[in-house]
Structure 1
Amino acid sequence: MKTREWHVFAAIVAAGIMCFSGVLIETSMNVTFPALMHEFQVNANGVQWVTTGYLLAIAVVVPLSAFFIRNYSAYRLFVISNLLFFTGVLTDSFAPTLTILLLGRVFQGIGTGIALPLMFHIILTKSPLEKRGTMMGIGTMTTALAPAIGPTYGGVVMAALGWRAIFWFLLPLIIISFVLGLRSIPSEIVKRTESFNLLAFIMLSVGLASLLLAIEQLSGMWLILSLITLGAFYYFNRKTTLLNLHVFKNHIFNRLLVGVLVYQAMFLALSFILPSFIQIGLHQSSTVAGLFMFPGALIGAVLGPISGRILDQIGPVKPISFGLVISTIAMFLMAITFQNEMIWLLLGFHIMTQFGSGLAVNNLMTATLSQLDQNLSADGNSVLNTLQQFTGAAATAFAARLFANGQQQNALHGAMFGSRAGVMVLFGLFVMALILFILSINTLKKQWRTN
């Protein structure tokens, strides 16, 4: 079953299936949150850990990706990540309690945390520059399709068989990924040349977890702990590098990175806000909530590889500019629509946000990582993915906090107030991302003209 040579497209798909499955479960489970609140007797702040626990596990593991890639073969990393993910899905297939459910999600997060940067590493190192935009579009399409399918899949399966069945049907998909990876990724010999910085890893893990708790609970105590431990991480990381922070010396990288993170915040926050508002605020079923998310997410997924091809032909400036402007306008219009409680208007503006993301987000990632030299490629990939996952977790926790606060303050219209507040915050973030991108346009034009 092993192969001796790279089959890049198949390898990207094999790793992408795991990333797809993780996002599929994530967006599927968001539709089930009202049911989980009832079954496990928790509020929105408690149930959101089904998503944030998974994303936090990814955020903690992803910083290790640069170390893993330098010291272990892609074949070995793929096998380990696949088995961990399979274990997590199997655990959640029969989870009797919220604690067991969260444990399975952590296993899935660890597996995805290895697979996600591995997929982008394969794209950036095994595909030629002239095809990199297209290959990036193909890679991200595997994960972009998941939000299109996930809510509908989750709503329909839960209505028919219960939420645990969401995990049952993914087991064969993970097996397919495993077989495809074995046939497309060669078993290469990689000599380990570095020691593992355990103290830096522990400090980073505690720092990110405590920062997430500070956001979720609006706690000054957790914030102080996170600042102390992240400061300790910076100290230990300088001695033996776990996460190469030199990538932040590139100012264009930093500006473009903000745009990537804002889109990540939008994806995760809206996947919590909209299904919850539709079910609790508009009193619709989980199936309706799932179907609501489908058109926009599908448009975003289909546009992914198309926008990558546009980048290959004309560069990143025009597709990213149009995408950011469209998404920014859509967020504002969506925010002022909640009080009308008109589901069709919300649907139209959600489609608009996803159309903008389809044009911009993949090209933002490509342009961001392309700012770095080849020797910093793995490190930049690791930093980007770490911040992406943590931003997603933080956005979900913050959206859940605003939603819960709205319900506490107004029993009748609390879901509307909480949802509107969350979307207005996202609008402000998009304005900031748009300004930073405008400041980078001249540099991007020069780079792509040279290439």
Structure 2
Amino acid sequence: MENYERKIDFKLIMAIVATGIMAFAGVVIETAMNVTFPTLMKEFQVDTSTVQWITTGYLLILSIIIPASSFLKKRFSTKSLFVTAAIFFLAGTILDACAPSFSLLLSGRILQGFGAGIALPLMFNIVLEQVPFSHMGTMMGVATLILAVSPAVGPSFGGFVINYWGWRMIFISLLPLLIISLLIGIFSIRTIVKPVQIPFDWPSFILLAISFSSLIFATSSVGTLGWHNPLILSEFFICILTFIIFYKSASRKKNPIFHPSVFRIKTFTLSVIVIGIVQFICLGLGFLIPNYSQLVSGQKALVAGLLLLPGCIVGAFIPPFSGRLLDRIGAKRPILLGNICIIVAAFLYSILAQQITTMQFTIIYIIFTIGQGFSSGTSMTNGLRQLPENLSTDGNAVCTTIQQLAGAVGTAVVTTLVSAAQEQFPDQLPYATMLGSRDALFLLFALACIALICSMIIFRNIKKPQTT
């Protein structure tokens, strides 16, 4: 099937739907669980720095598995990968629905991370491999829509479910959706490129796993140990050292886990930085807003979750529209507009943090989702267009990995800042949470400014996309 004609047909749409449902479920659970943190802390008698591993641990597994997606795509058929992902995800969801302890709940999240780590890049690989080039921006926008909307759906969904049925129903209610996804995928997903028998690059995989794990553990522990603690500094050192070793060794291999040469293309690398920053801000806000609403403003979980719903609805219309703009007028205006909106939202959050109202939270989040919708998917598509076609799968693995790693670090960093303030004022939880949230929001504003600068540099140095 190597001479496959790129066309948009029913099976292609259904394949994107099947992988999209699983990706959507993964991110919805991820952000829905943020609303449950106060409830889980009481039920399982754990603190803020421990409970956040429900999200951070899941994202860490994603970050470790996704880099292998380029190899998995070459080595196994697309359908077999999808079925494997579905089995892992279903097993983890069932375990979480029944978990009697925090450790088993975390184990279920890790199984879900394995499944989502395979499914997430699979969705984008199907688009890159089968969609006509003239419609690539639009279809990438549709695929990105799933990842853009689900972080906002999660807290609203989680708050509603917890308010009426309890946190376990979050997992139970998604089981039928996952089964439907599996059935659709078995029917519609096809393998375009024949699998190749190539060995797995275990040394590179282990180096990346150590690097990413060290980064997550370091950022998660800073709040309790401090930035100058020898253990924290050693973890950051290990993270940098192992990644450098990976980069140098993988550059010399014929079939590495993914080709690091993609980072030699400046416009792609800058696009990856923008994508990572936007995801960092998105997941950071996904943690901060529901917890601020409950712990500082005294709102119920339902209200805290619904704060993000209007932004979710508005943001749902942006990525496909942004993708069409990219196909027609290029990427510059959508990306710059998106990054400016993100800066405005982050700035307003940071200056209003001490006295922000529920309505202000909602309105500002709408501004953020508009910016995210214009920036994230368009930056990914534009970055991948700068790569030769034979490196598109590797580029997709890098983009998706950075998204999940940035989300994990974002959740860990903002949690660390909030936890540090809570430890400083243990008898004043609302006040301490507000102070920690304010510091985190200032950080998100600074990162949003860096994203805009990177985008401006991209379009000052942009070259025509390579197609050979």
Structure 1 residues 115-174: Cα deviation after superposition (integer angstroms, max 9, x where no partner)? 111111111110011111111111122233322321111111112111111000111101
Distance 1:188 1:313 in 2: 28
Distance 2:413 2:244 in 1: 23
1:284 corresponds in structure 2 to: 299
Q: CA RMSD in A?
A: 1.9
2:285 matched to 1:270?
A: yes
2:246 matched to 1:230?
A: no
SS class of match (2:258): coil
**How many residue pairs align between the two structures?**
445
Unaligned runs of 5+ in 1: none
Distance 2:357 2:193 in 1: 59
2:198 corresponds in structure 1 to: 194
Distance 1:200 1:6 in 2: 38
2:373 corresponds in structure 1 to: 358
2:457 corresponds in structure 1 to: 439
2:183 matched to 1:170?
A: no
Task: Give 1:373's match in structure 2, choosing from 388, 412, 417.
Answer: 388
Q: Aligned partner of 1:45: which letter?
A: S
With normalisation by structure 2, the TM-score equals 0.91
Task: Give 1:96's match in structure 2, choosing from 92, 95, 100.
Answer: 100
Taking every aligned residue pair, what percent have the same amino acid on both sides? 39
Task: Give 1:425's match in structure 2, choosing from 419, 439, 443.
Answer: 443
1:147–1:294: 8 Å Cα contact kept in structure 2? no
Structure 1 residues 181-230: Cα deviation after superposition (integer angstroms, max 9, x where no partner)? 11111356834332111122122112211111111112123223333433
Distance 1:10 1:128 in 2: 16
1:16–1:119: 8 Å Cα contact kept in structure 2? yes
Distance 2:336 2:269 in 1: 17
Structure 1 residues 307-355: Cα deviation after superposition (integer angstroms, max 9, x where no partner)? 1111111111111111111110221111111111322222221111111
Structure 1 residues 387-440: Cα deviation after superposition (integer angstroms, max 9, x where no partner)? 111110011000100011122223251111111111111111111111111122
Task: Using the TM superposition, name which of 184-193 and 21-30 deviates more.
Answer: 184-193
Distance 1:226 1:439 in 2: 27
Task: Give 1:323's match in structure 2, choosing from 338, 350, 365.
Answer: 338
Task: Give 1:113's match in structure 2, choosing from 111, 117, 142.
Answer: 117
CA gap of 1:233–1:440, structure 2 versus 1, over 3 A, is closer
2:414 corresponds in structure 1 to: 399
Q: CA deviation at 1:238?
A: 4.1
Q: Aligned partner of 1:30: which letter?
A: N
Structure 1 residues 220-278: Cα deviation after superposition (integer angstroms, max 9, x where no partner)? 23223333433443454345411211000001111122111111001100000110100
Task: Give 1:416's match in structure 2, choosing from 406, 431, 434.
Answer: 434
Distance 2:243 2:140 in 1: 32
Distance 1:300 1:188 in 2: 33
2:353 corresponds in structure 1 to: 338
CA gap of 1:398–1:14, structure 2 versus 1, over 3 A, is same
With normalisation by structure 1, the TM-score equals 0.95
Q: Aligned partner of 2:233: which letter?
A: G
SS class of match (1:156): helix
SS class of match (1:339): coil
1:135 corresponds in structure 2 to: 139
2:165 matched to 1:126?
A: no
Q: Aligned partner of 1:197: which letter?
A: D
SS class of match (1:389): helix
CA gap of 1:187–1:317, structure 2 versus 1, over 3 A, is closer
1:146 corresponds in structure 2 to: 150
Task: Using the TM superposition, name which of 138-147 and 232-241 deviates more.
Answer: 232-241
Q: Aligned partner of 1:346: which letter?
A: F
Distance 1:318 1:235 in 2: 36
Q: Aligned partner of 1:432: which letter?
A: I
Distance 1:224 1:327 in 2: 31
1:298 corresponds in structure 2 to: 313
SS class of match (1:196): coil
2:145–2:373: 8 Å Cα contact kept in structure 1? no
2:152–2:286: 8 Å Cα contact kept in structure 1? no
Distance 1:222 1:286 in 2: 35
CA gap of 1:206–1:315, structure 2 versus 1, over 3 A, is same
Q: CA deviation at 1:114?
A: 0.7
1:264–1:391: 8 Å Cα contact kept in structure 2? yes
Distance 1:73 1:165 in 2: 34
CA gap of 1:330–1:38, structure 2 versus 1, over 3 A, is same
SS class of match (1:170): helix
Q: CA deviation at 1:91?
A: 0.8
Distance 2:170 2:131 in 1: 34
2:20–2:123: 8 Å Cα contact kept in structure 1? yes
Task: Using the TM superposition, name which of 430-439 and 191-200 deviates more.
Answer: 191-200
